[in-house]
């Protein structure tokens, strides 16, 4: 129908101002964002000025929170490195043409993605030492290894799926071109497919690593003095909720925000002549 093209026009050919046109939408959005900022900002200011006990804050920040922060940071660094490395191999297994390898990688992902991390941590923390007679388990501080093993196994599954998606998104012609030049499958993967798959998967991997940081909060159940247990410690002795809450928030954001920046930087670096803008 020809009339449908002239909808919104008045008889003399002028565009009619609709209620929700582009300009009003833009102003409405800015107004909502402004109100939101004011509300949240006011709330945070109210907390800081009415709820936070600065004397207590100074007292608990060191050594309690600094130590918890450094412990979490250390676990995150090792867990990230290991889970991303292992995840690449899980992803390679997922795209393998060898049925056995493929099946094993798929089962791995199904299990570690399909059961809660908390459950996996308990299996490792309580289950593994049960193979030894009571009191004979040779590792005295088993909680830290449990944390690293659990986070690595769990997040390798997610990273593996991100890598698989990244590999699948690389056109088949890339591997064919590499093979046609006499490169082996391994060379083609390493030199041609994986660098492109890595870029494709970076956002998803970064996302998962942020979740890994936050997953360290579960380590409180295997008695690792991390940030949540530091909060509970302070809160249960002083009955002050907001002073430790503020510290916990700052500590997590001190890891997750730089992590996001690193991912952005890596993405910008894999720009290859500007096709990603």
Least separation in angstroms between CB 202 and other proteins: 13
Alpha helices in 95-193, H assignment, sequence order: 99-114, 117-122, 143-168, 172-180, 185-187
Q: Exactly one of 3, 7, 55, 275 binds other proteins (CB under 8 A); which one?
A: 275
Q: Report the distance separating Cα 277 and Cα 11, nearest Å.
A: 42
Decide if residue 63 touches other proteins (CB under 8 A). no
Least separation in angstroms between CB 241 and other proteins: 50
Task: For tokens 């009191």, name the residue.
Answer: 135
Question: Which positions from 187 through 206 interact with other proteins, judged by CB under 8 A?
Answer: 187, 191-192, 195-196, 199
| Residue among 165 and 195 whose Cβ is closer to other proteins | 195
| Residue among 22 and 275 whose Cβ is closer to other proteins | 275
Q: Strand, helix or coil at 139?
A: coil
Integer-rounded Cα radius of gyration of the chain: 26
Decide if residue 277 touches other proteins (CB under 8 A). no
Q: Exactly one of 97, 173, 236, 239 binds other proteins (CB under 8 A); which one?
A: 173
Give me the phi and psi of 176, to 5 degrees please: -60, -40
Contact code string over 129-168 relative to other proteins, x by CB under 8 A: ----------------------------------------
Using alpha carbons, list the distances in angstroms from residue 53 to 62, 67, 122, 130, 247.
15, 20, 36, 45, 12
Q: Report the distance separating Cα 236 and Cα 242, nearest Å.
A: 12
Decide if residue 267 touches other proteins (CB under 8 A). no
Q: Which stretch binds other proteins (CB under 8 A): 100-108, 158-166, 209-217, 268-276?
A: 268-276
Decide if residue 174 touches other proteins (CB under 8 A). yes
Decide if residue 180 touches other proteins (CB under 8 A). yes
Decide if residue 47 touches other proteins (CB under 8 A). no
Contact 208, 247 (CB under 8 A): no
Total residues at the site for other proteins (CB under 8 A)? Answer: 23
- 18: CB partners within 8 A, 6+ apart: 8
Decide if residue 171 touches other proteins (CB under 8 A). yes
CB neighbour burial string for 150-179, b if at least 16 within 10 angstroms, e if fewer: bbbbbbbbbbbbbbbbbbeebeeeebeebe
Least separation in angstroms between CB 73 and other proteins: 32
Q: Strand, helix or coil at 137?
A: coil
Least separation in angstroms between CB 97 and other proteins: 13
Q: Which stretch binds other proteins (CB under 8 A): 88-96, 113-121, 140-148, 184-192?
A: 184-192
Q: Report the distance separating Cα 267 and Cα 109, nearest Å.
A: 26
| Residue among 24 and 187 whose Cβ is closer to other proteins | 187
Residues at the contact surface with other proteins, assessed by CB under 8 A? 171, 173-174, 176-184, 187, 191-192, 195-196, 199, 270, 272-275
């Amino acid at each position: 129908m020809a009339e449908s093209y002239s909808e919104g026009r008045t008889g003399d050919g002028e565009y009619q101002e609709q209620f929700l046109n582009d300009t009003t939408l833009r102003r409405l959005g800015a107004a909502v964002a402004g109100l939101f900022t004011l509300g949240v900002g006011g709330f945070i200011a109210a907390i800081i000025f009415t709820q936070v006990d600065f004397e207590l804050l100074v007292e608990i920040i060191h050594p309690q929170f600094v130590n918890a922060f450094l412990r979490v940071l250390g676990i995150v660094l090792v867990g990230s490195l290991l889970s991303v490395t292992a995840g690449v191999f899980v992803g390679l297994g997922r795209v393998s043409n060898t049925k056995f390898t493929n099946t094993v990688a798929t089962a791995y992902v199904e299990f570690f993605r399909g059961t809660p991390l908390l459950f996996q941590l308990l299996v490792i923390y309580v289950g593994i030492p049960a193979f030894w007679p009571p009191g004979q388990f040779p590792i005295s501080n088993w909680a830290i290894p449990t944390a690293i093993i659990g986070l690595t196994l769990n997040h390798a599954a997610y990273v593996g799926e991100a890598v698989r998606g990244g590999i699948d998104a690389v056109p088949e012609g890339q591997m064919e071109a590499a093979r046609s030049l006499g490169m082996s499958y391994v060379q083609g993967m390493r030199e041609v497919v994986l660098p492109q798959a890595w870029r494709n998967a970076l956002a998803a991997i970064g996302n998962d690593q942020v979740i890994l940081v936050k997953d360290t909060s579960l380590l409180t159940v295997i008695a690792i003095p991390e940030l949540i247990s530091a909060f509970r410690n302070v809160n249960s002795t002083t009955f002050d909720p907001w002073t430790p809450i503020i510290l916990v928030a700052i500590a997590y954001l001190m890891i997750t925000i730089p992590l996001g920046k690193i991912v952005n930087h890596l993405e910008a670096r894999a720009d290859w002549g500007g096709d990603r803008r």
